[in-house]
Amino acid sequence: MTEIDKTSAASAKLGDESFMSATDLRGYMDKLAMAQANEAVEAMESANRAKEALAKQLAEPIDLTPEKLHEIAQSLLVKLRLAAERGETELMVMRFPNNLCTDRGRAINNTEERWPETLIGRPRQAYELWRDRLKPAGYGLAAMIVDWPNGMPGDVGLFLTWRGK
């Protein structure tokens, strides 16, 4: 038996148990890493599809019937009370992809006064509801980029604010 045959035989058996060679172990690790990478890619693709579906849904304005306005007001009231009980002075009332801004959130990120003009779809409706109904009641509205994937502006958050005197 040659020296190579002896090494192969020794790596194939260790006592009474089969033993994985270092090459086999590296191959196993590579397969695991590939499976994990595939799962990560599938998860990212799924998240992107969900985000696209949300953006499509939010791009379409809703019919603001008196019943729908009442439903929105009741939901908002519950959230505002809970936030106030926690001592907070702001509440994120909407989060949406930056492609629901005509400039992908540039005016919001640069705190330009005209940022509301860039909103489309339901975010625009949310701004108009604030402007027409909540601003006269003393509430403020702030918009900001709330995440930065790969260092680029991501989702936008609309925050209803209230301050003490």
pLDDT for res 40: 85
Q: Which residue from 86, 108, 103 is spatially nearest to 157, judged by alpha carbons?
A: 108
Q: What is the predicted pLDDT for the residue at 7? A: 53
The pLDDT of residue 157 is 96
Task: List 119's β-bridge partners, or say none.
Answer: 101
pLDDT of residue 109: 95
Burial class (CB in 10 A: 0-12, 13-18, 19+), 74: exposed
Q: Reduced to 3 states, what is the DSSP secondary structure of residue 46?
A: helix
Among residues 106, 147, 100, 105, which one has the least CA distance to residue 125?
A: 100
Closest to 156 in 3D by CA, of 127, 123, 126, 113: 123
Per-residue pLDDT at 119: 96
Q: Is the dihedral of CA 125, 126, 127, 128 positive or negative?
A: positive
Q: What is the pLDDT of residues 30-74, one digit of tens each?
A: 888 898 988 888 888 888 888 888 888 888 888 989 999 999 999
What does the domain layout of the chain look like in residue ranges? 3-57, 64-161
pLDDT of residue 13: 53
**What does pLDDT average to over the chain?**
87
Residue 9: predicted pLDDT: 53
Name residue, tokens 């020296």: 3
Q: Which residues of the chain are under the pLDDT cut of 70?
A: 1-18, 164-165
